[in-house]
Structure formats: structure tokens, C-alpha cells
Amino acid sequence: MTDIIRTINTRDPGEKEFHQAVQEVIESIKPVLDQNPQYRQEAVLDRIVEPERITTFRVPWLDDQGNVRVNRGFNIEMSSAIGPYKGALRYHPSVNQSILKFLAFEQTFKNALTTLPLGGGASGSDFEPKGKSDDEVMRFCQSFMAELFHHIGANTDIPAPDIGVGAREIGYLFGMFKKLSNEFTGALTGKGINWGGSLIRPQAAGYGCVYFAAEMLATRNIGLEGQTCLVSGSGNVAQHTAEKLVELGARVVTLSDSSGYIYDAGGIDRDKLAYVKHLKNIRRGRIKDYAEKYPSTVYTNADYSLDYNPLWSHRAVCAFPCATQNEINDKDAYNLINNNIKLVCEGASMPCTPEAVDIFLERNVLFASGKAANAGGVAVSGLELVQNSMRLNWMGEEVDKRLQIIMKDIHNTCLGAAEQYGTPGNYVNGANIAGFVKVVEAMLDQGLV
């Protein structure tokens, strides 16, 4: 175990997701540290794993029955080396300091890869929006923002949608931010298109993930057209990953939520996807309803007592885990490989366990970590901020074109860094190394702060 892993294990015992995210980066950057002794002398690792600031706060709110409810809010400001803190805002019962520190840590390197001047952060709460009325969600968001607004701002810290936070939540949060700060600035991204949002922002993480996958496949002369693809999740990233795959002629056969998954052998086409969007974004229903609407589909309940997820046992060429962290383990990895998988592209943040990643790399499966593959979300958030400060809106085509260029650049940057440090074709190492070097060089330029 390296010194830094020992330090974080001792200092923050129990933060297993954070430890996992740090471990992955540490393994990749060993050759960089060996070639740059000043990084060790300047203790950059000790500095980079310690958030610049953490705030936790009480979020009291009233439910529809008039009961007082209390949740816990967090804001992690991990690194401002290359720009204002920017990252995921997540509402999910599992949210704790470890999960948000892992997101903020990953985000720091992801943002560096986008070429945009954005630091890394994350915020959120253990609030569960599922099953709450719009009024309850609004009251919660307003209470959450009553504290968060002290910490965020267009030049300070800019939260963005993540699990459980979509257009509705960003709307309520922004409304309260504007009221409290008395200014209309881009302190949140994912805003509505009529009031400061960017076209293609909702689609960006999913579309970007598919653009990245297409670049990876092209290195082996494989196209997406006609390929069978497994997608997990049915939220923002999953919907838009599936949408772009369908547009490019691939056959998407699965989607899921935390209750179960659907397998549609005939393929989920545009019309079926429109149904999923309405089901999930408007009716806020469960993916099970898809199987009632399209009876040739097979629905399987989630069984968390199993040590594998049957979604990953179907025959396919590409897999896009787009739901949550650690949703593909070693057993799932072998099931995918035994069923012909050629590419695994992480739409979600850290959806594959370290054991699964090692198996993919050993078996020469094209594998991209979320840090690189889902960076399209934050990239277009960055473009939203540019449009906000210019006070104009670009056309959707313009944003999409920029997104494609950014994803291609990230792909090439990852390949270049992996090659330079002796692991050609290893996108995990490439993403970690390129992101790390950029952040660390900025830290060194700015002195011991």
C-alpha cells in the first residue's frame, strides 16, 4: 500500500468510494511521479487528496402532510487549481461524504481533460426525490439552496445535474439562488433553455459518451452501426446515450432503474425512447412500465442478493453502464466477455469496480473510464457558462459540433498520455495522467496554497 493510501485510510476510514477513486489514479500516475521528482518533493499527492473545503449542513423542510423532515447537505470543494469548483449535484439516499469526495476527486481530473478552465467539486444530499411531490421537491431545494448559496457563484463554485437532480431541481435551486443573491448569473448549469441554459446540455454526457466510444472503436476499424449495445440506467445519461446510439444505427436492447431492467430484443427505437423519456422525466414512473407498453420485452426485477447483474449477461458488442457507481463487478465483467463484448464505455461515474476494470484491460476490451467518456456533460456545462457570460445562445448544431471536437480531443489526449508513459491504448492511465499533470502543474505554479 502506498503512503498516500495509508494516509487517507487512516484519516478518513470508511470512505470506501473515495479510497477507490484515489487508488485508481495513484496506480496510473506512478511513472509520472518517477519521472518528475519535484511532484514528490512538493507533496502534490498529499495536497490533491485533501479537499480545499468541505461544508456539511442541515436541510430542514416540510412535507405535504406538514411534518418537519431533515436531511443532510454537503458541499465538497476539491480543487480550484485550474478554475472555479465545478461538479455534480446529487440527491440520492446513498449520498454521504465518501461518495461526494469520490465524485469531486474524479471531477477534478475530468474537468482538466475538457480543456476548459474548471476546477473540481461536488455537492448533494441524502434526500430522495423519488416519490416526492413537486411541492416537496421545491421546498427541499429552496432549503438546500438557503445554505448552498453562501458557497457558490459563477466565479466560485458551479454545481451541475447528477443523479436525482434534473431540469426540475435545477429550476427550483436557481430560483432560490437568484432570490438570495439578487443576481442572474451562471452559478448553476443545466438551466432551462429559456433562462440561461444551453442547447444540447441535457444530451451532452450521453452523446459525448457515444462520440468517445465511436473514436475508440475506430482505432480497431469497428463502426457502431448494427452493433448490439447494453445500456444501464434510464435517467439523463442513459436516455441520451441510447438516443445517440440509435441515431448512429446501433441496436440498444436494455435499460434499467433501481427496481429492475428491460431486455427488448427487437431494439429500443426512437419512438420507444420517446416513451421512456416521457415515462421517466414527466410521469416519473418505473422502467417496468415499458414491458407493459411493449409486451415482447422481458422485464427482470433487480435482485440485490445476487453477486452479478443479469443485465450484463446478454450477448452484445458494446456496454454503456450509465446508472451509478460499482454496477459492474468482476463477475459481470466475465459475463460480458463471455458474451462477445468488445467495448465498455462508462457513462456513469466509476460504474466498474477495480476488479472489473483489470479484467477488461487484461482481455484487451476497449475500456474508457467515466472521467474521459462522460466528460461531455461538464464540457457543455462549460459552454453554457461561456454563453451566459456572453449573454447569447448558440444554436444546437454549434454546441454539438464543439462537443464532438472536445470528445475527440479528450480521446486523443488520453491515447497520447498512455503512449508517452508506456501503456499504449490504456485509456484509464491516459485519462488519469493527462488530468493529473495539468492540475499539478497549475498547483505548483500557484505556490503552497
Q: Give me the least distance between CB of 343 and ligand NDP, in Å please.
A: 18
What's the rounded Cα separation, in Å, for the pair 435 and 352? 20
Helix (H, G, I), strand (E, B) or coil at 132: coil
| Per-position x/- string for 213-242, each x denoting binding to ligand NDP as judged by CB under 6 A, each - no binding | --------------------xxxxxx----
Q: Give me the least distance between CB of 12 and ligand NDP, in Å please.
A: 20
Between 100 and 138, name the residue whose CB sits nearer to ligand NDP. Answer: 100
Between 120 and 377, name the residue whose CB sits nearer to ligand NDP. Answer: 377
C-beta separation of 55 from 85 below 8 A: no
Biggest distance spanned by C-alpha atoms of the chain:
63
49 to 88, contacts with ligand NDP by CB under 6 A? 88
CB within 8 Å of 332: residues ≥ 6 apart: 308, 309, 312, 313, 356
| Per-position x/- string for 189-208, each x denoting binding to ligand NDP as judged by CB under 6 A, each - no binding | ----------------x---
Grid coordinates of 180: 438570495
Between 79 and 440, name the residue whose CB sits nearer to ligand NDP. Answer: 79
Q: Give me the least distance between CB of 361 and ligand NDP, in Å please.
A: 21
Between 280 and 438, name the residue whose CB sits nearer to ligand NDP. Answer: 280
Between 259 and 412, name the residue whose CB sits nearer to ligand NDP. Answer: 259
Element (H, E) at 176: helix 167-181
Q: Give me the least distance between CB of 347 and ligand NDP, in Å please.
A: 6
Q: For the residues of 278-321, what is the DSSP string, one character each?
A: IIIIIS---THHHHHHSTTSEEEE--TTSSS-GGGGS--SEEE-
Cα-Cα end-to-end distance for the chain: 28
Lookup result for grid cell 485508481: 24
258 to 277, contacts with ligand NDP by CB under 6 A? 258-259
152 to 171, contacts with ligand NDP by CB under 6 A? 161-164, 166
What's the rounded Cα separation, in Å, for the pair 379 and 236? 16
90 to 109, contacts with ligand NDP by CB under 6 A? 92
275 to 314, contacts with ligand NDP by CB under 6 A? none
Q: Give me the least distance between CB of 429 and ligand NDP, in Å please.
A: 20
Residue in the shown chain whose Cβ atom is closest to ligand NDP = 235
CB within 8 Å of 423: residues ≥ 6 apart: 429, 430
Q: Tell me which stretch binds ligand NDP (CB under 6 A): 54-62, 70-78, 316-324, 382-390.
A: 316-324
Between 227 and 324, name the residue whose CB sits nearer to ligand NDP. Answer: 324
Buried/exposed 411-444: b ≥16 CB within 10 Å, e otherwise: bebbbebbebbebebbbbbbbbbbbbbbbbbbbe
Q: Tell me which stretch binds ligand NDP (CB under 6 A): 47-55, 63-71, 341-349, 355-363.
A: 341-349
Q: Give me the least distance between CB of 349 and ligand NDP, in Å please.
A: 4
Instruction: Using CB under 6 A, pick the residue from 15, 17, 257, 332 that binds ligand NDP.
Output: 257
Grid coordinates of 97: 461524504
Q: Give me the least distance between CB of 329 and ligand NDP, in Å please.
A: 13
Task: Kindly compute the dihedral angle of the four CA atoms of residues 341, 346, 350, 353, in this order, to the nearest 10 degrees.
Answer: 0
Instruction: Using CB under 6 A, pick the residue from 75, 96, 324, 335 that binds ligand NDP.
Output: 324
Task: Kindly compute the dihedral angle of the four CA atoms of residues 272, 278, 283, 289, in this order, to the nearest 10 degrees.
Answer: 0
* 348: contact with ligand NDP by CB under 6 A: yes
Distance of CA 399 to the CA centre of its chain: 19
Between 83 and 370, name the residue whose CB sits nearer to ligand NDP. Answer: 370
367 to 426, contacts with ligand NDP by CB under 6 A? 374, 377
Q: Give me the least distance between CB of 236 and ligand NDP, in Å please.
A: 4
The residue count for binding ligand NDP (CB under 6 A) is 25
How buried is 74 (Cβ within 10 angstroms: 0-12 exposed, 13-18 middle, 19+ buried)? buried
C-beta separation of 99 from 125 below 8 A: no
Q: Give me the least distance between CB of 297 and ligand NDP, in Å please.
A: 16
CB within 8 Å of 91: residues ≥ 6 apart: 124, 125, 127, 128, 129, 163, 164, 165, 169
By the criterion CB under 6 A, which residues form the site for ligand NDP? 88, 92, 161-164, 166, 205, 233-238, 257-259, 322-324, 347-349, 374, 377
